Amino acid sequence: QKEVEQNSGPLSVPEGAIASLNCTYSDRGSQSFFWYRQYSGKSPELIMFIYSNGDKEDGRFTAQLNKASQYVSLLIRDSQPSDSATYLCAILNTGTASKLTFGTGTRLQVTL
């Protein structure tokens, strides 16, 4: 079992809809969880991080964490074509102060 799993997609949503991206992880001790966005040919860009159960909102983005079920999700409201990118989920490895394990990413396509 991979440590961090994501559906590779592509996930296609129409403009203006809510995009829901999901991630499951195996390390129960993980304390911090991250979402990165990566445009084609660019570097990963940090969107949000969350470490408490529940929701965290930042503009059109909401991260949701459920430690009991070991999943973290990212909701993008009012999806725009500019949101089309690959979204990487990452967890902070237990017992390390800084090492992240990344999923393989979900490709999101927002259609007109």
Partner 1 sequence: DAGVIQSPRHEVTEMGQEVTLRCKPISGHNSLFWYRQTMMRGLELLIYFNNNVPIDDSGMPEDRFSAKMPNASFSTLKIQPSEPRDSAVYFCASSSLRTGTGEQYFGPGTRLTVT
In 33-69, which positions are buried (b, 16+ CB within 10 angstroms) versus exposed (e)? bbbbbeeeeeebeebbbbeeeeeeeeeebbbbbebee
* Nearest distance, CB of residue 58 and partner 1, angstroms: 13
- For 83, the 3-state DSSP assignment is helix
Distance CA 47, CA 52 (A): 16
Tell which one of 13, 23, 24, 44 touches partner 1 (CB under 8 A). 44
- Binding part of the chain for partner 1, among 19-27, 36-44, 54-62, 70-78 by CB under 8 A, reads 36-44
* Nearest distance, CB of residue 78 and partner 1, angstroms: 25
Tell which one of 13, 25, 34, 79 touches partner 1 (CB under 8 A). 34
Which of 41, 40, 32 has the alpha carbon at shortest distance from 63?
32
- Of 77 and 99, nearer to partner 1 (C-beta) is 99
Q: For binding to partner 1 (CB under 8 A), which residues are involved?
A: 32, 34, 36, 42-46, 49, 51, 88, 92, 96-102, 104-105
